Amino acid sequence: MTKPTLVVALGGNALLRRGEPLEADVQRINIASAVKAIAALTADWNVVLVHGNGPQVGLLALQNSDYKQVKPYPLDILVAETQGMIGYMLQQELQNALPEISIVTMLTQVEVNSKDPAFLMPTKYIGPVYDKVEADVLSIEKGWEFKNDGDYIRRVVPSPKPLNIIESASIKQLISHGSLVICAGGGGIPVVRKDKKLLGVEAVIDKDLSAAFLAEQINADALLILTDADAVYINWGTDKQMALSNAQPEQLEKMEFDAGSMGPKINAACEFVNATKGKVGIGCLADGSQILKGLKGTLITEKPVAKKNNIKL
């Protein structure tokens, strides 16, 4: 029997946790743990993996800007670099864990609108964490913008919405041949069309929005968003804070979530469920195989599947 298709969106912070040094050895250790959870999913699903790159692309941008002898590489090229770097590490670990499955990493371009208002209002967190003094200095020296990310301060860049995944036909073909495809890493390499040609632009697309868009394009049955939070919470940071086990798009769309973290995940989940009637799980990596069963994390569906912790409006 053919397995259903699952798109898994793996957060960049699952590969490099907050406050950890931006080193290859640290990422390899985290990736080895992530692969155990992803490999377990292949027992029931055809898995397509999309990964984040926030810490990694931010580090490359920092290294890039400090090399004064040459003009800095733009963000689209840095995103391509992270697709190769992170994809390589994920592909190697997955191949070691799943020697019977073909693992393929694909450089993936994602088309965006050059007039997307996101270019005027940066919200996407990238790079390491800073204290206020460091952020103020970098803001003056490099012209970067910063925002609070929980207890931290991080750089933010434009994050336009995905319009088209250029390599979607090739991804479908690989899936049909039984490959586990790692694609749209870091949300995809951001490109625009000008005079019928593709050109890279200065942005980082949110990987959750790209994962949901990809899931629609390849007719996936479910979307799993793995992050460093164990569930979606309402009334976060108050004495009424509560984790949701199940929610519906029409409920979530009436609520506000941080535009740089949980907001895009909720938007991606709602778009996928509304478009496909499929289901979306959001939760932490360790709970991966249980989230879509409604046992852990938050399950977002067209209709309620459980009474516990449903949103009451």
List, for residues 106-162, the tens digit of each pLDDT value. 999 999 999 999 999 998 888 778 889 989 998 998 888 999 887 889 889 899 999
Determine which one of 11, 12, 187, 260 is catalytic.
12
Question: Do the strands 152-157 and 145-149 form a parallel or antiparallel pair, or are they unpaired?
Answer: antiparallel
The answer to whether residue 265 is catalytic is yes
130 vs 128: CA distance, rounded Å: 7
Catalytic residue among 46, 64, 124, 281: 124
Q: Rounded distance, CA 81 to CA 122, Å? A: 21
Joined tokens for residue 146: 């910063």
Where are the alpha helices (H) located in the chain, listed in sequence order?
A: 12-15, 24-41, 54-66, 75-97, 132-142, 168-176, 207-217, 249-252, 262-276, 288-291
Torsion angle of the four alpha carbons 51, 56, 58, 63, in this order, in degrees rounded to the nearest 10: -150
Q: Could you please report the per-residue DSSP string of 146-164?
A: EEEETTEEEEEE--PPP-E
- Who contacts 241 (Cβ-Cβ below 8 Å, separation ≥6)? 233, 234, 235
* Residue 261 scores a pLDDT above 90: no
In this prediction, residue 302 carries a pLDDT of 94
Q: What residues does each domain of the chain span?
A: 5-112+166-220
Q: Which two tokens stand for residue 302?
A: 């067209």
Is residue 172 annotated as a catalytic residue, yes or no?
A: no
Q: Which residues are bridge partners to 58 per DSSP? A: none
Model pLDDT for residues 268-296, shown as the tens digit of each residue? 999 999 999 999 999 998 898 899 999 99
pLDDT at 237 over 80: no
Among candidates 272, 297, 224, 222, which has minimal Cα distance to 34?
224
Q: What share of the chain is helix, strand, coil (3-state, %, to 5)?
A: 40, 25, 35
Cα torsion for 174, 54, 227, 15, to the nearest 10°? 70
Whole-prediction pTM: 0.88
Q: What is the pLDDT of residue 13?
A: 67
SS3 label, residue 24: helix
Q: Is pLDDT above 50 for 312? A: no
Active site residue 186: no
* Residues 41-90 pLDDT 10s: 999 999 999 999 888 888 888 787 777 677 878 899 999 999 999 999 99
Q: Which phi and psi (to 5°) does residue 110 adopt?
A: -125, 120
Instruction: Please say if the pLDDT value at position 192 is more than 60.
Output: yes
More confident residue, 235 or 120: 120
Query: pLDDT > 70: what percent of the chain?
Result: 95
| Beta strands at 46-51 and 5-10: parallel, antiparallel or unpaired | parallel
Amino acid at 131: D
Alpha carbon 35 to its chain centroid, in Å, reads: 16
207 among known catalytic residues:
yes
Query: How is domain 5-112+166-220 classified at the CATH fold level?
Result: Carbamate kinase (3.40.1160)
**124 assigned to active site:** yes
Q: Which of 13, 46, 53, 64 does the annotation list as catalytic?
A: 13
Active-site option among 52, 187, 188, 207: 207
